[in-house]
Amino acid sequence: MFKLFRKDPNKKLEKEYQKLLEEAMQLQRKGDIKAYAKKMDEAEQVLKQIEANKNS
């Protein structure tokens, strides 16, 4: 019954994931490939957390 009032933890993670992808795209456009790779790695970690939450 109280699950109805809980916030979805994946919503916050999905917003973070989208933000990281946007930042990575901007870095790639500027030509900073090392920073782009780092941002993409961070985005992958967030995506793994999202998938782990969905599976459990």
Q: What average pLDDT does the segment 39-48 reach?
A: 98
Q: What average pLDDT does the segment 31-35 reach?
A: 97
pTM tops 0.75, yes or no: yes
Q: Are 38 and 23 in contact (CB under 8 A)?
A: no
CA distance 26 to 34: 13
**For all residues of the chain together, what is the average pLDDT?**
92
Confidence of residue 8 (pLDDT cuts 50, 70, 90): confident
Q: Are 46 and 17 in contact (CB under 8 A)?
A: yes
